[in-house]
Amino acid sequence: MEKFIKLHGIAAPMPLVNIDTDMIIPKIFLKSIQRSGFGKNLFDEMRFNRDGSEIADFVLNKPQYRKAEILIAGDNFGCGSSREHAPWAIADFGIRCIVSTSFADIFFNNSFKNGILPIVLPQEQVDLLMKDAEKGENARMTVDLEAQEITTSDGEVIAFEVDAFKKHCLLNGLDDIGLTMEKAEAIDAFEAQAEAARPWA
């Protein structure tokens, strides 16, 4: 998993509330267990017409937001069914950070495991970031995980909270497999001892 230390990029404003996982990645695309390849179908029903043409006024189809790496979202982001494909699609598109007033619990935890930083802030601070994001591609924000700060395009700094363990995992690029591999020597030693003690097993 890619490390998340500091991100400086374009923020896209998406003020819709209750964006659920089926809106993020419709169930018709859940045909693979590979983590890649879902970005092209992110927000598919909002991004594309039935003939495959783009819906011009959807935020991620606008030229200034096509390379957005930060999403400023409405309340209760990631609600609905607990599909891990949702953070896979977001990460594959290139979005590394989502800011909202609240997230669905399963989506929130799955995001950290897939290299995405979900940040919870009070409504007034989300509103401030939403307004800043509306300025377009020249208004880039900086998300500093180590310092736990977001800096707007105007230089205003907003502090955020993050669980210490989840922060450690993101800073070091550790998903569940990576965490296990950190203990590889201890696991190998245990297995060697177990084999010596019970060679018949």
pLDDT of 184 over the 60 cut: no
Measure the CA–CA gap between 66 and 12, rounded to whole angstroms: 9
Which is nearest to 86 in space by CA: 26, 11, 46, 34?
Answer: 26
State residue 11's pLDDT score: 97
What dihedral do alpha carbons 18, 1, 170, 144 form, nearest 10°?
A: -80
All domains of the chain in start order, with CATH? 6-174 (3.20.19.10)
State residue 16's pLDDT score: 96
pLDDT of 33 over the 80 cut: no
Q: Which pLDDT tens digit goes with each residue over 80-127?
A: 987 889 999 999 999 999 999 999 999 999 999 999 999 999 999 999
How large is the greatest C-alpha to C-alpha distance in the chain, in angstroms?
Answer: 68
pLDDT tier, 130 (very low <50, low <70, confident <90, very high otherwise): very high
38-57: average pLDDT: 94
Per DSSP, which regions of 38-134 are E strands?
70-73, 97-100, 117-120
Q: pTM to 2 decimals?
A: 0.86
pLDDT tier, 48 (very low <50, low <70, confident <90, very high otherwise): very high
